[in-house]
Structure 1
Amino acid sequence: MRTILILLIAVFAVASITAQPVLTNSSNFTVGDSYRMDSYVENSTASPGQAGANITWDFETITGGTFVEGSTAICVDPAGTPFADSAAAIAANICICPVENPDDGAYQYYHSGYNSRELLGIGWFEMGNTSFGTYQGPLKSLMFPFGYGDSYSGNYEYTSYHLDFGYYFMRDSAEVETVADAWGTIKTPIGEFNNVLRLKTTTHVYSWYRYGAGTPWMFMGDFTDVQYSWYLPGMKVPLLVLLEIDYYKDSFYNIEYLAEYSFVTDVKDVESKTNMVFPNPAHNYICVDTGEAEILYIVLFNRHGQKVLTQAGPTYRVDISSMSPGIYAVLVQTSKGVLQQKLIIQ
Structure 2
Amino acid sequence: MKTKLTMKTKLTLISILSGLNLLGQTITYTNFSNSLTNVLSVNIADNNSFNAILKTTTGAGVTWNAAGLTVQSGTPLVNLSYSAPSSTPYASLYPNSNYCLYDSALTTFIGYEYDNFNSDSISKWGSYEPSTAHEIYQDPDKHLIFPFNYGQSFTDNYAKTNYSNSTTISSYQTGSRTVTFNGYGTLILPQGTFQNVALISEVRTNSLGPDSAYRYTWHDISNGKILLLRNENGGSITTVWNNELPTEINEITKVLDFTIFPNPISTVAIVKINTQFTKKDLSLSLYNLIGEEVYKTQINNNETVINRNGLPNGLYIFSIKSNSQENLATGKLIFK
* Bigger mean CA deviation after superposition, 70-79 or 111-120: 70-79
Aligned equivalent of 1:84, options 79, 91, 98: 91
Is residue 31–residue 94 contact of structure 1 (8 Å, CA) maintained in 2? no
Question: TM-score when scaled to structure 2?
Answer: 0.63
Distance 1:34 1:51 in 2: 25
Deviations 1:68-98 (A, max 9, x none): 5542222211112110222x1x221111112
Distance 2:110 2:231 in 1: 21
Deviations 1:9-62 (A, max 9, x none): x89974xx2543211113135356343243222557532243211111111123
Aligned equivalent of 1:33, options 36, 39, 46: 39
Matches of residues 160-199 of structure 1 in structure 2 within 5 Å?
Answer: 160-164=162-166, 166-199=167-200
User: 1:6 matched to which residue of 2?
Assistant: none
CA distance 1:122–1:57, shift in 2 (3 Å): same
The RMSD of aligned alpha carbons is 3.7
User: 1:119 matched to which residue of 2?
Assistant: 124
Unaligned runs of at least 5 residues, structure 1:
1-9, 208-220, 262-272, 278-287, 293-332, 342-346
CA distance 1:237–1:37, shift in 2 (3 Å): farther
Aligned equivalent of 1:142, options 144, 152, 173: 144
User: 1:132 matched to which residue of 2?
Assistant: 134
Distance 1:226 1:339 in 2: 34
1:94 matched to 2:99? The reply is yes
Which residue type is aligned with residue 91 of structure 2? A
Overall identity of the aligned pairs, in %: 20
Distance 1:77 1:155 in 2: 26
Aligned equivalent of 2:213, options 204, 207, 225: 225
Matches of residues 314-329 of structure 1 in structure 2 within 5 Å?
Answer: none
CA distance 1:37–1:116, shift in 2 (3 Å): farther
User: 1:336 matched to which residue of 2?
Assistant: 314
Is residue 229–residue 239 contact of structure 2 (8 Å, CA) maintained in 1? yes
Is residue 44–residue 65 contact of structure 1 (8 Å, CA) maintained in 2? no
Compute the displacement of 1:131 (Å). Answer: 3.2
User: 2:66 matched to which residue of 1?
Assistant: 59
The DSSP-based 3-state class of the residue aligned with 1:157 is strand
Decide which structure has the larger Cα Rg and report it: 2
1:257 matched to 2:264? The reply is no
CA distance 1:185–1:41, shift in 2 (3 Å): same
Which residue type is aligned with residue 139 of structure 2? G
Is residue 314–residue 334 contact of structure 2 (8 Å, CA) maintained in 1? no
Compute the displacement of 1:175 (Å). Answer: 1.4
Which residue type is aligned with residue 173 of structure 1? T
Distance 2:238 2:86 in 1: 33
User: 2:281 matched to which residue of 1?
Assistant: none
The DSSP-based 3-state class of the residue aligned with 2:60 is strand
User: 1:50 matched to which residue of 2?
Assistant: 57
Distance 2:22 2:242 in 1: 24
CA distance 1:21–1:245, shift in 2 (3 Å): same
Which residue type is aligned with residue 133 of structure 2? S
Compute the displacement of 1:334 (Å). Answer: 6.0
CA distance 1:149–1:32, shift in 2 (3 Å): closer
Is residue 45–residue 71 contact of structure 2 (8 Å, CA) maintained in 1? no
User: 1:153 matched to which residue of 2?
Assistant: 155
Question: TM-score when scaled to structure 1?
Answer: 0.61
